[in-house]
Amino acid sequence: MLINNETIIKDPNPIIREKSEPVSLPLSAEDEKLLRDLFQYVKDSTDEEKAKEFDLRPAVGISAIQVGVKKQLTAVIVDDRDKNDAPEHYEFMLVNPKIVSSSVQKAYLSSGEGCLSVVQDHEGYVVRSARVTVKAFDLLQNKNITIRARGYLAIVLQHELDHFKGTLFYDYIDPKHPNKEVPGALVI
């Protein structure tokens, strides 16, 4: 499937608000190809030459609903730093991911969030859990995995999994106090 800025579903198209369905395992050839195409989009979107040539907006994740397919498939590639400030690189092609636990502590990006499907700017903090545990089948490893994520990776995973519920990041922004600081929150 060709995935670029033209083919990504944009808000307010109602499809982006539809719920995604679980996917049967083992993956069908069609579902596997779609997930690999989503992953390739994310990978290529951070390569300046490919992004320009193929009309790709930079991304750290994309979910199937963003290309009009109502299935619980998402691809994530994140560069982050661990608690000791050492670089970490994460790559996932997730099938039916579910958050099985989340921290009480909150976190948000100081610059706010963005989304390939949301062209309009929405200023404000998107307050999420600082840590999450996600269970899923990962096509990259070809097995069921458990991801214990903190900080930026946790935010990215929550953002992508929200797409399965038809939720967009700006749904979390407090319209009266969009930049209100949250005491005790991890600010990234």
Domains and CATH numbers, the chain: 14-187 (3.90.45.10)
Q: Which amino acid makes up residue 169?
A: F
Q: Residues 13-30: pLDDT tens digits? A: 999 999 999 999 999 999
| Catalytic sites, residue numbers | 160
Amino acid sitting at position 6: E
Question: Which tens digit of pLDDT belongs to each residue from 59-107?
Answer: 999 999 999 999 999 999 999 988 888 999 999 999 999 999 999 999 9
Residues 66/116, Cβ–Cβ less than 8 Å: yes
DSSP string, 112-173: ---BTTB-S---S---EESEEEEEEEETTTTEEEEEEEEHHHHHHHHHHHHHTTT--GGGGS
| 62 three-state secondary structure | strand
Amino acid at residue number 166: G
